[in-house]
A and B are shown apart, each in its own frame.
Chain A
Amino acid sequence: EDQVTQSPEALRLQEGESSSLNCSYTVSGLRGLFWYRQDPGKGPEFLFTLYSAGEEKEKERLKATLTKKESFLHITAPKPEDSATYLCAVQHGGATNKLIFGTGTLLAVQP
């Protein structure tokens, strides 16, 4: 059964304190792994798609990496505006295109 596990559930950082969020997955033939950011009271905002092990993508202070079993979202020198819930989702390579989401990591960056 396809499964996505994110850790930690919650993370509190000081401004400028770099860290990483983890997304572990089991899926029958990964087609893509997606990262989203969700602010309170809003819909998830697309960040990255990763397709194959070894792939990396960057956007401002965020960098996403992918291995055959997990993905990391690295946050370098975070700012308070990076505070949000970060969601990971996998899409397997079968006929269906559905995304299987993890339960997210709630990130709080304190000034």
Chain B
Amino acid sequence: DTAVSQTPKYLVTQMGNDKSIKCEQNLGHDTMYWYKQDSKKFLKIMFSYNNKELIINETVPNRFSPKSPDKAHLNLHINSLELGDSAVYFCASSQDRFESQYFGPGTRLTVL
């Protein structure tokens, strides 16, 4: 019974390609997030959706586009991948925008 799940777990691709990462939560939470964790393990918020509405949009290149088809799903699409996009991407969810966040297992993206 995985609470927050992501697919794929690993993603290896060439520069310039377009890729998507999918996230689903079965906790009934209203708020979902995307984080990026760099090679130094620093975790930084990218986007947040509350009831399908975008509420946080950090300074992220517009090659990154989140999409929330419903409250339980938040996908991340990345266009024209660059070497610097290599990182681990985590999805998270919380009951509402102020409560504790629960993280998925991460997607390790490697851009060659």
Contacts and interface: CB of A to CB of B under 8 A. Distances in A.
Interface in B16-41: 31, 40-41
Interface footprint category on A: 20 to 34
A97 B105 contact: no
Given A42-B106, A43-B105, A101 B42 contact: yes
Contacts of B31: 97
Given A34-B101, A44-B103, A46-B100, 10 more contacts: A31-B98, A38-B41, A43-B4, A45-B103, A97-B55, A98-B56, A99-B101, A101-B42, A101-B43, A103-B42
Interface of B: 4, 31, 40-45, 48, 55-56, 58, 90, 92, 97-98, 100-106
Q: Which of A36, A44, A45, A89 has the most CB of B within 10 A?
A: A44
21 contacts: A34-B100, A36-B103, A38-B41, A41-B106, A42-B105, A43-B90, A43-B92, A43-B104, A44-B90, A46-B100, A46-B102, A87-B43, A91-B98, A96-B55, A97-B56, A97-B98, A98-B56, A101-B42, A101-B44, A103-B40, A104-B41
A43 B103 contact: yes
Interface of A: 31-32, 34, 36, 38, 41-46, 49, 85, 87, 89, 91, 96-99, 101, 103-104
Contacts of A101: 42-44
